[in-house]
Chain A
């Protein structure tokens, strides 16, 4: 699987609710040791937010750390949420299905 196959893909929960599209994929360096890099990067969450122009050009709230004015502009594109990887139920060609929260 490639990262590009996840980015921009719509995410729905198993009750059919639209959760947005994948803005990014978060990974933590806590996997098995792999060569010079040390512990491998393991995916732990999908960063999901509203679809639209802001997300398409990479101007996601998750990507803008500062300055404040840029964070404010990025917020216009809507907030982003993280969905833990263990909630992913299925990845199809056109969408990702996750378990509903709670």
Chain B
């Protein structure tokens, strides 16, 4: 049996090998970051159920959290310097800002890459990419010239 997204039901995966660090591709085929971590939700009744994969985590410190230790702390500090937590006009935390979670229900295919039914611009990884461009790439002489 195959679901509409093409993933055969009953298929078995190794989450570390077949999800972590895989490229995420959006609905238009644009690159949208890598899978930095996977969210598992434990059933309410832990004695009679198994954890379910509920989201992919990407960008905005997800990798720093996974690395852990001094390297993870360094990556976290750098991530916050480059990309401060999003705020609304009043300076409060913006609840609508993408938080790096991609609901697993938005995944349409798992293979050499992970295809999701969302726009890359709506994902937290896009904010990271834009921030890196602003902070580093645009400062390279000639980077803003046409064709660069």
Instruction: Determine if B14 and A4 form an interchain contact, defined as CB atoms under 8 angstroms apart.
Output: no
In the complex, whether A38 has a CB less than 8 A from a CB of chain B is yes
Interface bits B84-113 vs A (CB < 8 Å: 1, else 0)? 000000000000000000011111100000
What separation, in Å, do the CA atoms of A23 and B83 have in the docked complex? 32
Separation of A24 and B104 alpha carbons in the complex (Å): 19
- C-alpha spacing A54/B76, complex, angstroms: 27
Q: Which B residues touch A63, using CB under 8 A?
A: 14, 16-17
A25 within 8 A of B: yes
B residues whose Cβ falls under 8 Å from a Cβ of A: 3-5, 7-17, 19-20, 37-42, 50-54, 57, 65-66, 68, 103-108, 117
Q: Mark A34-78, 1 if CB is under 8 A from B, else 0.
A: 111111111110010000000000100011000000000000000
Q: Which chain B positions have C-beta within 8 A of A1?
A: 39-42, 51
Q: Are B57 and A2 in contact (CB under 8 A)?
A: yes
The secondary structure that dominates the A interface is strand
* Docked pose: A80 CA to B40 CA in angstroms: 22
> Can you name the residue of chain A whose Cβ is closest to the Cβ of B17?
A63
Q: Check: A12 CB closer than 8 A to any chain B CB.
A: no
Q: A25-B16, A36-B107, A43-B51 are in contact. List 14 more A-B contacts (CB 8 A).
A: A2-B40, A3-B20, A3-B37, A3-B40, A26-B12, A26-B15, A27-B12, A27-B13, A29-B13, A35-B117, A36-B4, A38-B7, A41-B15, A42-B50
Closest chain-B Cβ to A95's Cβ sits at a distance in Å of: 16
A59→B17 CA distance, assembly (Å) = 10
Complex: A51 Cα to B37 Cα, angstroms: 21
A2's nearest neighbour on chain B, judged by CB, is: B37
